[in-house]
Amino acid sequence: MTEFADLAYPDIGALLKDERRTVLLLPLGATEPHGPHAPLKTDTLISLGICERAAERLEDDRDIRALVLPPLPYGVTRYGAAFPGGVSISEATLRALVVEISRSLAAQGFPRIVLVNSHFEPEQVRTLREAVAESEGVVRLLDLTRRQNAKRLTDEFRSGSCHAGRYETSLVLADEPALVRRQRMESLESKMIDMPAAIAAGQTDFMAMGMDRAYCGAPAEATAEEGERTFETLTELLIDLVREVAAC
């Protein structure tokens, strides 16, 4: 069993007496438009997919037990406001949620937490970094926007033209293919937009960036196989960080 909230309280008590160190994984995402073809929960689904794989991979580990916390499906998401479906919370709310969740767990003897985030609006990433700094215990962020992590991911991801494109759509196809509207996906022309550059130039919504259907990149080229390969890399990155946190 790898889901924290699937356990009953005596099982949680038993974890505290276990020789294996428990590291908790907190999947973070957003509820946000992801093109006409992919679900609003794309980012949450991706974070959850990484966490579940890592926890399963560590199930028989001698030193570490990883458990997946219930995901946080809301984030700071404003760039897609021109489209229906986005549900944004403020930076202060996100920060308080993360800090309070980590405090609550640390107080019970679970100070080791890894945040796994797949929603890259700069305000989200900045807030999570601040929350990590403010949290008690050993709280770390798997920060895929950092160069040493990004360089291991796909060309589209590194190009920054990766909102609901080939990278993200492939990951959804790997885990919940029924949620990708195939006909729409196949009809979408590729749209290369350097989002980090656009954001640095002061653009803060998809329409201004030229994303008139709430996506960029090449969703029509997405495949479940690529998604599975990317999940593999993401899982390795997470396991490396879990081992680091467990050693603290």
Residues of the shown chain interacting with Zn ion in the complex, contacts defined by CB under 5 A? 42-43
**Cβ-based neighbour number of residue 204 at 10 Å:** 14
* Nearest to Zn ion of 43, 156 (CB atom): 43
Nearest-approach distance from CB 49 to Zn ion, in angstroms: 13
* Nearest to Zn ion of 99, 156 (CB atom): 156
Beta bridge partners of 125: none
Nearest-approach distance from CB 162 to Zn ion, in angstroms: 8
Contact between 189 and 215 under an 8 Å Cβ cutoff? The reply is: no
* Nearest to Zn ion of 42, 154 (CB atom): 42
Helices (H), 58-121: 91-107
Nearest-approach distance from CB 201 to Zn ion, in angstroms: 21
Contacts made by residues 218-221, CB under 8 angstroms, sequence distance 24+ = 218/156, 218/165, 218/166, 218/190, 218/191, 219/35, 219/37, 219/38, 219/164, 219/165, 219/166, 219/169, 219/185, 219/188, 219/190, 220/185, 220/186, 220/187, 220/188, 220/189, 220/190, 221/166, 221/190
* Nearest to Zn ion of 42, 127 (CB atom): 42
Nearest-approach distance from CB 42 to Zn ion, in angstroms: 5
In the complex, residue closest to Zn ion by CB = 43
* Nearest to Zn ion of 195, 246 (CB atom): 195
Rounded-to-integer distance, Cα 142 and Cα 127, Å = 14
Nearest-approach distance from CB 85 to Zn ion, in angstroms: 13
